[in-house]
Amino acid sequence: MNMTMQEIEIESKPFGTITVPEQQIINFPLGLYGFEPYHEYALIDSRQPPFYWLQSVTECHIAFVVINPYLIWPDYVLDIPEGDLIRIEQPLSDDLLVFSIVTIPDDEARISCNLQGPLIMNRHRRLGVQSISMDTRWKTKHFIMDAMNTQG
C-alpha cells in the first residue's frame, strides 16, 4: 500500500460511510447549476458499471449518477466555451474526463442523460466544471433506451 495516498471518509447516499482516495475528490469551484454552494465531490464506482456516482463530500443527500456519454452516443460532440476548459486548466484532449448526469425516474425505461450540461474534469488537477453545450442538438434529456434501440 502506498503510504502517501490519503484517504478521506465521507457519508455517501448510496453506500453510507465510505473511504475514498484523495485522487477521486474533484473540486468544482463553481459548483453545479442549482447546487452552487457545493464544491467538493467524490467520483466513485457505482458497482453497476458503466455508471459512477458523483457524491458531494459535505452533503450526503447530494449525489448524482453519471456516465460517460460516448458509450451511448458515440457521435456526441463536446462543443463548449473555451472559458470552461481554461477554468479546469486543461485543453480539449482525450485525457479530459467527460460525464453526463443521469436522471432515473420511477419508470426506468425513461432513464435519461443530460447532454446539454456535461461535466468536464481534469483528472490530474482534480478540477471540474459543469459546462453548457453550444451545439443545440444536445438537450437536457436524451433517453438511454431510445439510443440503445436506435443503434440496434
Binding site for other proteins (CB under 8 A): 13-14, 32-35, 46-51, 53, 61-65, 71-72, 81-84, 86, 101-105, 108, 111, 114, 116-117, 130, 132, 140-141, 144, 148
Residue whose CB is less far from other proteins, 23 or 140: 140
Q: Decide the pairing of beta strands 16-21 and 25-27.
A: unpaired
**Shortest CB 65 distance to other proteins, Å:** 5
Amino acid at 115: L
The CA-atom distances, in angstroms, between 92 and each of 87, 121, 145 are: 12, 11, 29
**Shortest CB 1 distance to other proteins, Å:** 22
Spatial distance between the Cα atoms of 77 and 138, rounded to a whole number of angstroms: 9
The CA-atom distances, in angstroms, between 48 and each of 14, 44, 82, 145, 151 are: 12, 11, 33, 16, 22
Residue whose CB is less far from other proteins, 20 or 112: 112
**Shortest CB 3 distance to other proteins, Å:** 26
Residue whose CB is less far from other proteins, 37 or 83: 83
**Shortest CB 4 distance to other proteins, Å:** 24
- H-run or E-run covering 117: strand 112-122
Residue whose CB is less far from other proteins, 6 or 77: 77
